[in-house]
């Protein structure tokens, strides 16, 4: 079985255009994320799923520089883009990650993948974000290519095409769903980049941790924010975009 991490990435974000290549310490956010994803032990390959738009050529240039495969597809039909990337790279198990999570912890991803592999005959979909206990920004979804293929063929609603997994995770009567839960509820933390305030928080965390410990973990981030309890306030007001918005 081949396990492939597929990361959706584009430059035309509505709230913070070009966010995936915004730099901290002279390195793009997407490069930090790729560096962290390369430390996932249970994944066989990483693929950046970007669009056919010319605006996304800088993402392709980054992939080429880092020797990371990429797939180009529809900007708005992200489900088709994911399906195309998974099919081209012969994925049996798909790990969905979004490019707005540059702090994502490879140990967290491995934990979700391991759970899926251990119970793949019992569950079709495993994630750590159906009901949140992890900080937002650690989101990991793992599911079979078969489920992705069925979604690709059958999904018709715009949110199902744009957000990839609603067709699967909103049909518990059809797909067997479960989740991995963190040891304590840390869902109040927002470590994803969708606005300028989000970026400011992520920038501070990277600047504080990366120079001393580039392999920093989820727990290192939590410890840091205990030292600087005012930092989470920076983006506490930001509301996550809903399906279909």
pLDDT tens readout for residues 12-55 = 988 899 999 999 999 999 999 999 999 999 999 999 999 999 99
Q: What CA–CA distance (Å, rounded) separates 96 from 191?
A: 17
Residue recorded with tokens 């095409």? 161
Decide the pairing of beta strands 45-51 and 3-8. Answer: parallel
Give the DSSP H or E segment for 33: helix 29-37
Retrieve residue 243's tokens: 């399906």
- What pLDDT sits at residue 240? 76
Retrieve residue 204's tokens: 């501070």
Q: What CA–CA distance (Å, rounded) separates 59 from 49?
A: 10
Neighbours of 187 (CB within 10 A): 15
Q: pLDDT (tens digit, 9 = 90+) per residue, 197-212?
A: 999 999 999 999 999 9
Mean residue pLDDT across the chain: 96
Q: What CA–CA distance (Å, rounded) separates 141 from 108?
A: 11
Retrieve residue 105's tokens: 């912890």
Beta bridge partners of residue 48, listed in sequence order: 7, 70
For residue 85, how far is the Cα from the chain centroid? 15
pTM for the whole thing?
Answer: 0.96
Terminal alpha carbon distance of the chain: 36
Contact 120, 97 (CB under 8 A): no
Q: Report all structural domains of the chain as residue ranges with CATH numbers, in order of start.
A: 3-235 (3.90.550.10)
Q: Measuring CA to CA, how many Å separate 38 from each of 46, 94, 102, 117? A: 8, 16, 13, 19
Q: pLDDT (tens digit, 9 = 90+) per residue, 79-95?
A: 999 999 999 999 999 99
Summary count for the chain: helices (H), strands (E): 9, 9
Neighbours of 241 (CB within 10 A): 11
């Amino acid at each position: 079985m081949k396990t492939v991490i597929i990361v959706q990435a584009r430059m035309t974000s509505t709230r913070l255009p070009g966010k995936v290549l915004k730099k901290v310490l002279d390195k793009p956010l997407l490069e930090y994320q790729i560096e962290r994803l390369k430390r996932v032990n249970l994944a066989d390959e990483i693929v950046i799923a970007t669009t056919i738009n010319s605006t996304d050529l800088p993402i392709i240039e980054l992939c080429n520089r880092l020797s990371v495969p990429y797939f180009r597809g529809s900007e708005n039909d992200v489900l088709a883009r994911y399906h195309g990337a998974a099919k081209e790279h012969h994925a049996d198990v798909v790990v969905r990650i979004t490019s707005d999570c540059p702090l994502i912890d490879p140990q967290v991803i491995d934990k979700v993948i391991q759970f899926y592999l251990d119970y793949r005959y019992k569950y079709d979909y495993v994630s750590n974000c159906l009901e949140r206990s992890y900080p937002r920004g650690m989101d990991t979804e793992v599911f079979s290519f078969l489920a992705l293929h069925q979604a690709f063929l059958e999904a018709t609603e715009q949110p199902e095409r744009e957000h990839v997994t609603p067709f699967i995770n909103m049909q518990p009567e059809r797909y067997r769903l479960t989740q991995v839960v963190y040891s304590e509820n840390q869902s109040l933390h927002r470590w994803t980049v969708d606005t300028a305030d989000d970026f400011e928080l992520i920038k501070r965390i990277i600047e504080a941790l990366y120079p001393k410990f580039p392999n920093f973990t989820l727990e290192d981030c939590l410890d840091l924010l205990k030292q600087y309890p005012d930092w989470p306030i920076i983006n506490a007001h930001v509301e996550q975009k809903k399906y279909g918005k």
